[in-house]
Amino acid sequence: MELIKKINIQLKNPETLDFLADAYYPETSGKLPLVIFVHGYKGYKDWGAWNLMAEKMAAAGFFFVKFNFSHNGTTVEDPHQFGDLEAFGNNNYSKELSDLGVVIDHFVKDPHVDDQKIILIGHSRGGGISIIKTYEDERINGLITLASVDTLERFPKDNALESWKEEGVYYVLNGRTKQEMPHYYQFYEDFEKDIHRFDVERATEMAKAYVLIIHGTHDESVSVKNAEHLHILNPNSELFLVENADHTFGSKEPWPGKELPQHLDMVTEKCIDFIKKNMV
């Protein structure tokens, strides 16, 4: 097997904050498909077993990138903790799409990358962001969603929305870290201001890319109905349901093993096969 190289860099986005990105790729003289992993809500690039997935994708012959959104609550100095809750509270979909654009623009210029083969893999909320980016950026020709949402309109309703507006902030408990994670009202204002841009259903229908939709049948966070809905919206997509898999396909943070959890291993194999079949 070819030696896998790993690089870790700091990217600058003048619209947001600096953030970290990793690239994994095999030592080769050829140009490789660029696969970018987009993490979800309360996620980050090194969560759980994503590193093991990155290594497996690189070994399969891809230039695999994962990154932290600039406002995901981690910092450049400590990418494994939610040390900047102020940034977390000031996150919004515009910033995430901007960061993803910076990642694509940076790595598409890498001499190891085939700029005609760009694939996004989005997990959970990152799936929704990836769907919108695929519709907006015609350079992207492959899209894989993992346990993706089918809408980004996931906000408090009615009275709760009113009290959020009045108080300016609401908090969500992070069950793992026990932190109260703030969400400032600007998040909703940003969504409302650009509501058509953030229409995941429309973007799914309009996306001009090979699309693979993957979901676990026992997802406790995002119902499998979201995947079935996305597949109906884009009938050319492929739907792959993983029996009994949860929201993170068996992974957890921290992940103690040296091997991928069974369901995530199956998912990674499916991603590799899909990309090779359609784009290699």
Model confidence at 261, pLDDT cuts 50, 70, 90, reads: very high
Angle at 273 between CA 54 and CA 261, to 5 degrees: 45
Per-residue pLDDT at 185: 98
pLDDT, mean of residues 114-131: 98
pLDDT, mean of residues 165-181: 97
Per-residue pLDDT at 280: 82
- Are 108 and 92 within 8 A, CB to CB? no
Half-sphere exposure of 173 (CA within 13 A, CB side): 3
Query: Whole-model pTM?
Result: 0.98
Q: Is the pLDDT of residue 2 over 90?
A: no
Model confidence at 101, pLDDT cuts 50, 70, 90, reads: very high
CATH class of 4-153+198-279: alpha beta
User: Which sign, positive or negative, has the C-alpha torsion 182, 184, 185, 188?
Assistant: negative
Q: Which tokens hold the place of 29?
A: 């003289």
Per-residue pLDDT at 140: 98
Closest CA to 36 of 7, 59, 61, 66: 66
pLDDT in tens, 73-94: 999 999 999 999 999 999 999 9
pLDDT in tens, 23-59: 999 999 899 999 999 999 999 999 999 999 999 999 9
Q: Using CA atoms, how far apart are residues 240 and 95, in angstroms rounded to an integer?
A: 30
User: Is the backbone peptide bond immediately before 33 cis, with ω within 30 degrees of 0?
Assistant: no
Q: Count of CB atoms within 10 A of residue 64's CB?
A: 28
- Are 160 and 170 within 8 A, CB to CB? yes
Q: Using CA atoms, how far apart are residues 118 and 124, in angstroms rounded to an integer?
A: 20
- Report the mean per-residue pLDDT for the chain: 97
Q: Where are the domains of the chain?
A: 4-153+198-279
